[in-house]
Amino acid sequence: MKIVSYFAGAGGMDLGFCFAGHDIIWANDFDQAAVKTYNNNIGIYSKHEAVCFDIVELLDKPKEQIDKIIPDCDVIIGGFPCQGFTIANLNRSMADDRNFLYIQLLKGISVKQPPFFLLENVKGLENIDNGQVLPMIIKDLENAGTVNSKLFPSNGPGYRVVYNVLNAYDFGVPQNRERVIILGIRNDIELGSLENHILETPISKNKPSKKLFIKPTHNEMSKTKDPELPKDKINKMYSNWKQSIKVKEYYKPSGTLYSTTTLRDAIGDIPWNYDDNTTFHNHCGSKCKVKIANHIGNRATHWDRRGPTIMGRGSGTGGPLLPPHPEQHRRLSIREVARIQTFPDEFIFHGTNSECYRQIGNAVPVLLAYNIALILTEREECGLPY
């Protein structure tokens, strides 16, 4: 399927969709360092380049001009900026301007009317402003392009919108990372096998239902070890994709639930000290001293446990919150947090240390994105019409 990507950042979501067999035809972000990272690791292989613009300025135009800027596509994807929503921001509220960037996604969906859209955000989106924000967003998305559309009303069929909170840990990613995943399906689209991934599990009368189901690949209760470590899996996927080898033919979820992965699985082979590095790109990083304490960014990590959530920023005012290395002698390096986010080793990040950490922390883990993208790949392979 042809994909338009909003807020692409360094490209974690996009790379997962590429591995699942989709084609990114347009991508945007306003961060110059992130766009450089994206284009040097994804753009040069996928025959498109991300454009570096402030999306608010880019789409501050009439409907007809937006229609020309954004190409026709099958899916619009986007992890709209989440600093205002995240639980790490103690002052979060809808008064935060960043929380209205989803309006830019709504513009694209309302104008282009793609068969599908797939959006990502932090778990905190569920309960911000006493749980009133997510139902508002879902209602806007359901009405996109219809006579009741918040933007550019027209005679479109509207969307069926389902969501759930997925933990990347359940898909082989070695960290605890819960994210809201929202899937929109245009009402005139035949679901086919996609119906198998949508289950109705109502929460309450006042909140939208969690209906999206994507079968996990890993479970902490399982005793069956995954035959490949996440780093080896993702490196092979990236190598194959760069050579135009179909990744999804190599790695499809087997139906077996494997045991979940650990920090040892993710970074156990990376030198403990920056100065010992002769092999790994971006194995450098913060000189900030480690002080173990019971708050985010300073809690001890352990080799044989999952990693903590890798964050792009702190409370909205500081730099990235960097967990300590399991040996507690330094903070995790750029390459180590990239490994924990399941980026390939040959995926090189550009910018200052702080910019690189931010790009990685703001990204969707590649393995999570891949497993999500497969549900649309399965539908496409059924040959169902749009």
pLDDT at 194: 72
pLDDT at 341: 98
Amino acid at 278: T
Does the residue 281 lie in any domain?
A: no
| Helices and strands (H and E) in the chain: how many | 14, 9
pLDDT at 186: 95
**In Å, how far from its chain's centre is CA 338?**
13
Q: What is the pLDDT of residues 185-227, one digit of tens each?
A: 999 998 776 776 676 555 455 555 668 989 899 999 999 999 9
CATH number, domain with residue 204: 3.40.50.150
3-class state of residue 20 by DSSP: coil
Tokens representing residue 118 in the block: 């797939």
Does the residue 334 lie in any domain?
A: no
Amino acid at 280: F
Query: Which residues are tagged catalytic?
Result: 82
Structural domain range at position 76:
2-221+366-381
Looking at the predicted structure, is the pLDDT value of residue 2 above 80?
yes
Residue pair 87/39 in contact (Cβ under 8 Å)? The answer is no
Range 2-8 average pLDDT: 96
Does the residue 253 lie in any domain?
A: no
Q: Which residues of 285-304 are buried (b: 16+ CB within 10 A; e: fewer)?
A: bbeeebeeeeeebeeebeee
Residue pair 193/377 in contact (Cβ under 8 Å)? The answer is no
Does the residue 331 lie in any domain?
A: no
Q: What is the pLDDT of residues 110-160, one digit of tens each?
A: 999 999 999 999 898 888 778 888 888 999 999 999 999 999 999 999 999
Does the residue 157 lie in any domain?
A: yes
pLDDT at 61: 95
Residue pair 367/236 in contact (Cβ under 8 Å)? The answer is no
pLDDT at 209: 61
Q: What is the pLDDT of residues 318-348, one digit of tens each?
A: 456 789 999 999 999 999 999 999 999 999 9
Range 244-265 average pLDDT: 85
The number of distinct structural domains making up the chain is 1
Q: How far apart are CA 291 and CA 331, in angstroms?
A: 10
Q: Taking all residues of the chain, what is their mean pLDDT, rounded to a whole number?
A: 87
Tokens representing residue 331 in the block: 């903070």
Does the residue 131 lie in any domain?
A: yes
Does the residue 176 lie in any domain?
A: yes
Q: How far apart are CA 107 and CA 144, in angstroms?
A: 8
Q: What is the pLDDT of residues 31-45, one digit of tens each?
A: 999 999 999 999 999
Does the residue 107 lie in any domain?
A: yes
